[in-house]
Structure 1
Amino acid sequence: MAAWSDLTNDVLEYITSFLTFPDHCRFGAVCKNWRSVSKSRRYPPIPQLPWLVLEEEKETRKHKFYSLSDAKHYSIEIPELHGRYICGSSHGWLFAVDIKITGILINPFTRELFELPPFPPFCKDVDVNTLIEKVPSDYMGGPRDYTFEEMQARIVTKAILSHDPKERSDFTAMIMFGEMNTPAFWRPGDLCWTVVDGQDGSSYDIIYFKENFYVLSPANVIYVVDFEPEPKLRVVGPQISYTVMH
């Protein structure tokens, strides 16, 4: 009988196409060859239910996740996330903010990551000891003292990607930040986030659909993000009316 560790990569890749995420992780723990094959794939390709990202365990510093498919909790050691607040996820990647108001984009499955520049309006090096005093009062919703943990949770309200960075290197990351949920974007190689102008008031949500980012205002007006020649929001849909059914 042939050794399982000697199976060719194409056979192993075919096997992984039927595995759930937990089984995919177990597959990669068998041997070096199987681990190499498991890391070469974007993630288990079969349709998967999402995992819920829970808090970091203070004792072990591991991050807790909850799998909806098998109704189990998993504690996973991801040192890059220690002390960071996870503010969003997209295409299996996590956005995380640290106490210096910078962030990372990390794939918890492969541990690949991108260092993100400071979030607006901190597009420069900041002194952590005086950071709270530098925050504009309207940025955080009014004058008061905020802990670093509170700031981490309030700066970025949503973060999404246009594409999976493992599939396309020319992806765009879009966030909503601050009290007004202002949209801003970043691309690999950019030294700073670019704030998108053209909207009166705050944003309610942002999505990516068919090569475009769309922003929804609290008044239910739909905007599309135009990147050229100057990044701006353009109205593409009338105000949506709806009726609440009782």
Structure 2
Amino acid sequence: MIVSLPQPPCTGSPRISSTTLCSLDPTLRSCFIAGSSHGWLVIADERSNLLLVNPITRAQIVLPPAVTIKNVQGCYTAEGVLDSYTLLDLDLDLETQGCNLQACTCDLSLEEGRFFFYWRVAMSADPSSGNCIVMILHMPEKHISFTRVGDTQWTWINVHPDCFDYCDVFYNDSDGLFYAMRRSGEVHTIDVNGPYPVVKVILNPMTRSRDSSRYIVQAPWGAILQVWRNDQPIRRGEYRSDCQA
């Protein structure tokens, strides 16, 4: 579809006479969009597996299956066909480093998993570059796992006792690190460039309040900002949002 645009109001700006709007592949329209970066969409398909999709070129890159996430367990039929998922809590004891099978679990169909697995997604580069790392915050306790494009499984990051309860994550091109923020306002850098992930605390917890929706972003001038959004009920069924940076 070609759409004519009006003359830009800024003096000296080149005139943009048209643009192209690309529709998503019909086979992907029922998928769940978990995130986007570098012009690519991160999509969870009907079996709850993630794939990267370029909506312009329609190129697709398949990421490791959901069953390779540490706390996602596949349930199979007698014939060995994947039939459903069980979502487990993770035990962050650095000695056991495993799943807590005694904790409350959630049984999900193949299609339901995508709505319960993924909280945030960040990418280090254009996936077509061949050097892209994809990092996810996954539920229920918002742990972090990552994979490199071309890998066959997700790697759970559990090298620090506080590697959970994250609310947002982004990649910083200037230093090659991921920055992740916890609900407490605590900020971690995550280095996955070496043989083992390295997590460092660069900002201590700021508050115990859990009423805000919180995000971490990098400003155009390089500063790293926290954005807190507070929803305040006015009357039943009506809300006001206040954003603070």
Q: What TM-score comes out, normalization by structure 2 length? A: 0.60
Distance in 2 (CA, whole Å) between partners of 1:137 and 1:196 is: 15
Q: Deviations over 1:4-61 (max 9, x none)?
A: xxxxxxxxxxxxx9658xx3327xxxxxxxxxxxxxxxxxxxxxxxxxxxxxxxxxxx
- Cα drift, residue 123 of structure 1: 8.0
Structure number with the bigger relative contact order (C-alpha 8 A, sep ≥ 6) is 2
Q: Percent identity?
A: 24
Once the two structures are superposed, the pairs formed by residues 92-131 of structure 1 within 5 Å of their partners are 92-119=39-66, 120-121=69-70, 127=76, 130-131=83-84
In structure 1, which of residues 129, 133, 136 is the aligned counterpart of residue 88 of structure 2? 136
Q: Is contact 2:74-2:82 (8 Å) kept?
A: no
Distance in 2 (CA, whole Å) between partners of 1:125 and 1:150 is: 13
- Cα drift, residue 78 of structure 1: 0.8
Code of the residue aligned with 2:70 in structure 1: it is P
Residue 9 (structure 1) aligns with: none
Matched, 1:151 2:113: yes
Distance in 1 (CA, whole Å) between partners of 2:106 and 2:64 is: 26
Q: Is contact 1:86-1:96 (8 Å) kept?
A: yes
Distance in 2 (CA, whole Å) between partners of 1:96 and 1:208 is: 19
Moved more, 192-201 or 178-187: 192-201
Structure 2, gaps ≥5 residues long: 1-13, 91-98, 210-227, 231-241
Residue 233 (structure 2) aligns with: none
Distance in 2 (CA, whole Å) between partners of 1:101 and 1:174 is: 16
Code of the residue aligned with 2:59 in structure 1: it is E
Residue 83 (structure 1) aligns with: 30
Give SS of 2:84's match: helix
Which structure shows the higher helix fraction?
1
Structure 1 residues 124, 110: CA separation in 2 closer, same or farther (over 3 Å shift)?
farther
Residue 171 (structure 1) aligns with: 132
Q: Is contact 1:123-1:193 (8 Å) kept?
A: no
Distance in 2 (CA, whole Å) between partners of 1:19 and 1:208 is: 31
Q: Is contact 2:116-2:139 (8 Å) kept?
A: yes
Distance in 1 (CA, whole Å) between partners of 2:73 and 2:26 is: 25
Residue 203 (structure 2) aligns with: 237
Distance in 2 (CA, whole Å) between partners of 1:223 and 1:145 is: 31
Length, aligned pairs only: 177
Q: CA RMSD in A?
A: 3.5
Q: Deviations over 1:122-173 (max 9, x none)?
A: 78986476313x332679x94455455542112111112111234x321111
Code of the residue aligned with 1:223 in structure 2: it is H
Distance in 1 (CA, whole Å) between partners of 2:183 and 2:71 is: 26
Distance in 1 (CA, whole Å) between partners of 2:62 and 2:25 is: 16
Once the two structures are superposed, the pairs formed by residues 1-246 of structure 1 within 5 Å of their partners are 19=16, 23-25=18-20, 76-119=23-66, 120-121=69-70, 127=76, 130-132=83-85, 134-136=86-88, 142-143=104-105, 145-166=107-128, 168-197=129-158, 198-200=160-162, 201-209=164-172, 210=174, 211-227=176-192, 228-240=194-206
Code of the residue aligned with 1:178 in structure 2: it is M
Q: Is contact 1:88-1:96 (8 Å) kept?
A: yes
Distance in 1 (CA, whole Å) between partners of 2:105 and 2:156 is: 23
Give SS of 1:130's match: strand
- Cα drift, residue 181 of structure 1: 1.4
- Cα drift, residue 179 of structure 1: 0.8
Q: Is contact 1:177-1:183 (8 Å) kept?
A: yes
Distance in 2 (CA, whole Å) between partners of 1:104 and 1:184 is: 15
- Cα drift, residue 80 of structure 1: 4.4
